[in-house]
Structure 1
Amino acid sequence: MKYYTRPQVLVLSGLDPSGGAGIQADIQAITSLGCHPLPVLTCLTVQDTRNVYGAEAVNPELIREQLRCISEDAPIHAVKTGALGNSEVVDVLVEFLEKHPDIPVITDPVIKAAGGGDLADDELLVTMKERLFPLAEMITPNGIELELLGENSSPAEAARKLLEKGCTSVLATGGHGTGIRITNTLYNHSPTPISWELDRIGGEHHGTGCTLAAAISAGRALGLSPRAAISQAQNYVHRAILHALEVGKGQPVPDRGILWEQ
């Protein structure tokens, strides 16, 4: 019997019991876009479609063993990270990534839930900025996260500061804005940033940031350039929002299980 293969994406993210964000969003998006997810759980959350009420990191030593075990068994074509729990988990991840420098890493720097709940403390933020971001091909902060990380209310200036500290590229996402159009802007070390504009559909949706970053990682695993992976991911998220699901009493959830056609 002949077995088939797909590009594989290693995912490190948290568990959202509502199924709207976190590792479930990553698994669904990566699978829908033609890749196989290799999921490693980093933290457990108390969460619904309205907010995050608590979180607890997974034992970093368990994560270290999972990374060792899966990397010795399966090829990894891209890495996607979401909520990481605490700075010790970041240290374990950095140790792993330093041994695999050729794998593209897409980092969604999850700091706060849309409802305002915290998913990262100051120590975790510092460790991500100093150790993880320089190893990532792209980080994908929303407006709130970019201002916190870059310590500036100007997206361009905040992105510049992050690039100066070692980031390869920053995709500043506009989904948390209020205009009729969403603007996503890619800042890197070229003189002019690249922007994409998309129609805003309704209000905020639960898990769109996770979905976008996961979709970008799938595109990179499939061999797309960073710009092409961003374009495909944006189209995928837009379509998933058009078919959003009413899961709970809070934000609707993108339908990431839609049949995807490029």
Structure 2
Amino acid sequence: MRPTILVFGGHDPSGGAGIQADIETIGSLGGHAATVITALTAQDSHSVKAVEPVSLDLFIQQARLLLDDMSMQAIKIGMVGSIEICEAIHTLLTEHSDVPVILDPVLADGGGGYLSTDGVAEAISTLLIPLATVATPNRKELMQLAPDGDTLQASGAELISMGCEYLLITGTDNPTADEEPDKVHHLLMNRDGIKELFQYPRLPNNYHGSGCTLASSIATGIAAGENVDEAVVRGLEFTWNSLNNSFHPGSGQHFPDRFRSK
């Protein structure tokens, strides 16, 4: 049976990230994406220029219609757009607590443009992190979500203590002094601490939509019946391959090719 994943996320008109990235990833992996847009954006292959959250009433109406009509095997969350929509997602998740939740806590785009207003990071930490089966922050997002931690591991442990079951901290930004510069390091944690460290060859370009691709591929694996470890491994492989086969439609970042991910 084709698994259905409910996706909450923003619309990226360039097609590199956001809802379109989710649909492409989920479809490429054999799932069906049912989508509810949280925000409209003005952006290109360089960065985000403007963000406008959608109507809260329309967002809630659309989400409830889909949840009443379809059986969801997973819920994937990307950009939430506003505190009010974050609060609405929290309510929906508590009403459907049996559905696995994969959270990509998007706070900025790959070009440095901000995708959230003041207070959204705190709202995500308080309302969504405790309900997440897997959260996939990059290092900058992690430090915004758990600013009291003095190391990545300490900040990760803080989010785990809030209730997040698994935390995959992605490391596609610049390597730290103790990391091999030609490798990308991803850290998987759970309640027992560090579970696994993944290393992949560092690719030469800047990429738009890698986080969306990773979280949606993990969501599709879990929706299809894989356990978290299996879904994370397959998701990392799919994402790296899609980046390795990237294309360059504009004058900014490269886009993952989610249809050539082998």
Q: TM-score range by the shorter chain?
A: over 0.9
Q: Does 1:134 align with 2:130?
A: yes
SS of the residue corresponding to residue 193 of structure 1 reads strand
- CA separation of 1:44 and 1:153: change in aligned 2, threshold 3 A: farther
SS of the residue corresponding to residue 163 of structure 2 reads coil
TM-score, structure 2 normalization:
0.94
Whether the aligned pair in 2 keeps the contact of 1:176 and 1:204 (CA below 8 Å) is no
Q: Which moved more, 1:155-164 or 1:50-59?
A: 155-164
Q: Does 1:231 align with 2:233?
A: yes
- Counterpart AA for 1:155: L
- Residue 45 (structure 1) shift: 0.6
SS of the residue corresponding to residue 37 of structure 1 reads strand
- Equivalent residue runs for 1:39-78 within 5 Å: 39-78=35-74
- CA separation of 1:153 and 1:147: change in aligned 2, threshold 3 A: farther
Give me the whole-angstrom Cα distance separating, in 2, the residues matched to 1:177 and 1:208.
Answer: 15
Residue of structure 1 in register with 2:96 after alignment: 100
Residue of structure 2 in register with 1:249 after alignment: 251
Give me the whole-angstrom Cα distance separating, in 2, the residues matched to 1:148 and 1:192.
Answer: 20
Residue of structure 2 in register with 1:167 after alignment: 164
- Counterpart AA for 2:165: T
Q: Which moved more, 1:153-162 or 1:89-98?
A: 153-162
TM-align CA RMSD: 1.3
Residue of structure 2 in register with 1:210 after alignment: 212
Q: Which moved more, 1:169-178 or 1:45-54?
A: 169-178
- Residue 54 (structure 1) shift: 0.8
- Counterpart AA for 1:71: L
Whether the aligned pair in 2 keeps the contact of 1:15 and 1:45 (CA below 8 Å) is yes
- Residue 203 (structure 1) shift: 2.6
Whether the aligned pair in 1 keeps the contact of 2:101 and 2:131 (CA below 8 Å) is yes
Give me the whole-angstrom Cα distance separating, in 1, the residues matched to 2:67 and 2:159.
Answer: 29
Whether the aligned pair in 2 keeps the contact of 1:184 and 1:196 (CA below 8 Å) is yes
Give me the whole-angstrom Cα distance separating, in 1, the residues matched to 2:61 and 2:194.
Answer: 42
SS of the residue corresponding to residue 66 of structure 1 reads helix
SS of the residue corresponding to residue 245 of structure 1 reads coil
Residue of structure 2 in register with 1:110 after alignment: 106
Give me the whole-angstrom Cα distance separating, in 2, the residues matched to 1:113 and 1:99.
Answer: 30
Give me the whole-angstrom Cα distance separating, in 1, the residues matched to 2:54 and 2:194.
Answer: 40
Give me the whole-angstrom Cα distance separating, in 1, the residues matched to 2:236 and 2:13.
Answer: 25
Q: Does 1:11 align with 2:7?
A: yes
- Residue 235 (structure 1) shift: 0.9
Give me the whole-angstrom Cα distance separating, in 2, the residues matched to 1:169 and 1:243.
Answer: 28
Give me the whole-angstrom Cα distance separating, in 2, the residues matched to 1:256 and 1:192.
Answer: 29
SS of the residue corresponding to residue 91 of structure 2 reads helix
Give me the whole-angstrom Cα distance separating, in 1, the residues matched to 2:225 and 2:206.
Answer: 31
Identity of aligned residues (%): 36
- Residue 176 (structure 1) shift: 1.7
